[in-house]
Structure 1
Amino acid sequence: MDLLAHYYHAHIAELNRRVAEAVSREALSGLVIHSGQPQRMFLDDIDYPFKVNPHFKAWLPLLDNPHCWLVVNGHDKPQLIFYRPVDFWHKVADIPEVFWTEHVEIKLLTEATEVASLLPRDLANWAYVGEHLALAEALGFTKCNPEAVMSYLHFHRTTKTEYELECLRRANQIAVRGHLAAKNAFYNGASEFEIQLQYLDAVGQGENEVPYGNIIALNQHAAILHYTALEHQNPARRLSLLIDAGASYFGYAADITRTYAFEKNPFDELIGALDRAQLELIAMMRPGVRYLDLHMAAHQKIAQLLLDFGLATGDALGLVEQGITRAFFPHGLGHMLGLQVHDVGGFSCDDRGTVLAPPAAHPFLRCTRTLAPNQVLTMEPGLYIIDSLLKALQQDSRGHQIAWDTVAKLRPFGGVRIEDNVIVHSARNENMTREQGLA
């Protein structure tokens, strides 16, 4: 914690610098950042799990307290309006006394509806940052999530401070513990649901604390890219596990994927080959490299795997140009990572709002940025047997290049994906996932 406290001072200074620049450009007095408020379930008397506004948790690791507000202008000490009601139904948050509290002025709010008395008086010249626009309008805000301000903040949020990098390292450290426990559970015969329980126990976080719904897919379920069903029963035959699971630390996310074969077989060899290809792609990451070029390099490597494992015929370049590789590798190579799993700014060309959209042939790519120091990205190539995508190949001449018998042999295994979390430094890459001990 001492290290984080040391880094936090510079982190707040950088956030203040960004806000000062953003509000100066737009002639604003400052930003009022709302932590959010609970959302009631339809026809019920309980709320959905609360998820804090990422712009709020960028400043403070205060993740579970709705109705809080930050008043920042880039120059004065940030003001935290801290919600602490009188409530005998629920646990009331303690007044924070931790390393970050000396950097903010805390004002207590006991009734959420009385926040107006603690907000700046001239709200017409302050911008509201949050999702509850009707509330903001009722309070008197006339500027909500102004596009120019949001574009500026999102572009610069991709450059992580030392505080943020350390939080991401610790999130990876926690997630690696879970992945090792899940791997052990798989080989000991656990079901998808049991693997999930052992993963959560190892990371010490509940389903609403991890940054996303874990993907724990046995056998052919691995071909469903966002599979979250978690079967309680085991399949008749155990073949493979794909686990895409993360962890949180102070609001920052780890997002890691591994694939395992239950026995030594060609699918296990395919996992090893994709793992080597993934590390080769990571070695290509450096400042000045376009992520789109890395994505296309990944397709070249997937094409070579299709040839090497007898799934297709022809040449690698032709398999890419004809769109054959997209049927086996349909998603993007990776994405920005930070306060959100799919962090903002992946398409930003500058802080004025200019974006570079993915090419039409690769619509699911989540990043088109040119890499720069202190960016954090995932690297997650995959190869799957997805019948709905392969069907399109069967309907034209490309189908003659596919070894359908080999496809049929791999279909029960579902697919393979390997995902690491990587910091781009000026002269090297830091693979947080591998350096925390996950091979």
Structure 2
Amino acid sequence: MAGLIEKVLSLPLLNMILARRRFLIIFGLTTLLLMLMFSGAGNVDMTRLSVSGANPEGAPGTRPKPNPPPVNPDVPPAPAEQPAAAAAPPEDAPKPKPEEPQQQQQQQQQQPETPSPKPADPQPAAPPNTPEPNSNKPVPAASPRPYISYQGYKRPGYDLPLTRAIPLRIMAMGSPAAFDHTASDDGNADNDNGFRLLLRERLTDLGHKVNYVGDATRGNMMDAEVVAAAPDKPPTVAALHELAAKVVPGNKPNLYIVSVGAEDAYRHIDVARFYVRLDALVRYLLDASHKSTVVLTTLPLPHDGGEQNGVREETVHVNEQIRRLVTLYQKAGQPVAKAEAAAAAAALAELKIFDALMDADARGYLQAPEPVEGIPDDGDWNARTTSEAFRQWEADKDKYYAQQKKIDEDEISRMEAELKKVNGGGGGAARTASSR
């Protein structure tokens, strides 16, 4: 018997078949599946044979997806979103009786503040003017817009400090937009704060200690240092570079706000190579203070006679070079950001500069300043010559903001009354406010 088995196993045909056993296994399984499919003996469900993701959604042969989580209990799920292979309930199982629509509507009117039903018991969709569940605010009368409940949140970047609230030693230099009274909100010639006061208040509200440093003081704010060649005339790039060489080493700011180029454009000083002179200035600023970041602002276009003598075109060319230089710096990993169109309006200039600071923060540019003996982190503290002068400055500032708030409140009340009259007691902002 053993000899017979050895003879059978030694046959060439059997050896060839065993060498191709992988092919035989696959062929045999395929044949078995085909037989089961056509015979019906295996009761094979073709929708469960394909691999998940092999077919497009909804195509025959795709694996049925599980039921999605409930979204809104007040809105029934769409028919297309229901599972394709839902199991049918037994025939002898008791079926729930559907509620009459009129009865449901009466129950909703009687119990407007009843907690929302469980996800397993979806209710019909609410009419357009029905308040959202758990909402105590009424819908404005005769409003074509359904009531929407809004929930505010803090926008990251505008309500959070920059770079863990590091101290900011700021050197504002160049254009009078940093300190000119024409850039101030009230246009007061004694103000001369420009965007600096608004930017300082925003940064200190976020938790930063701020100190403006420079070679001169401009404005009626306490921390009023700037770098400028003259109180009423912007310096050229070359003049600002010479001035910076005298001021920067003893202050070592960690943030420069540079607005320069207006004088070069006005005097037509080789504007085609303006970027070369500006690059030399920026490189000096970064080398003279190793922890610093530079914010370059573009220039507002002139509107008083600038169109006739070509100053506007020169200013446009200067702005183009500033933008391209910033791109080159950032490509090389240099800590330079751009404040676009820092116009003469103080509020707009401050907002654009703060946007540039957020961009610099997102890129990881901002660093704590180098310690310098005699320069505190808080510039207000450094500027308090006498306690009486500081108290008077704070009182004047609080009085100004109180007056502005009173003016706004009076105007809001007047506008609300006018809108009520125009809209017949409802409509617009007045209607919404009165309905809440």
* Short-chain TM bin: under 0.3
TM-score by length of 2: 0.20
Name whichever structure is richer in helix by fraction: 2
TM-score by length of 1: 0.20
Determine which structure has more spread, i.e. the larger CA radius of gyration: 2
Relative contact order (C-alpha < 8 Å, sep 6+): which is higher? 1
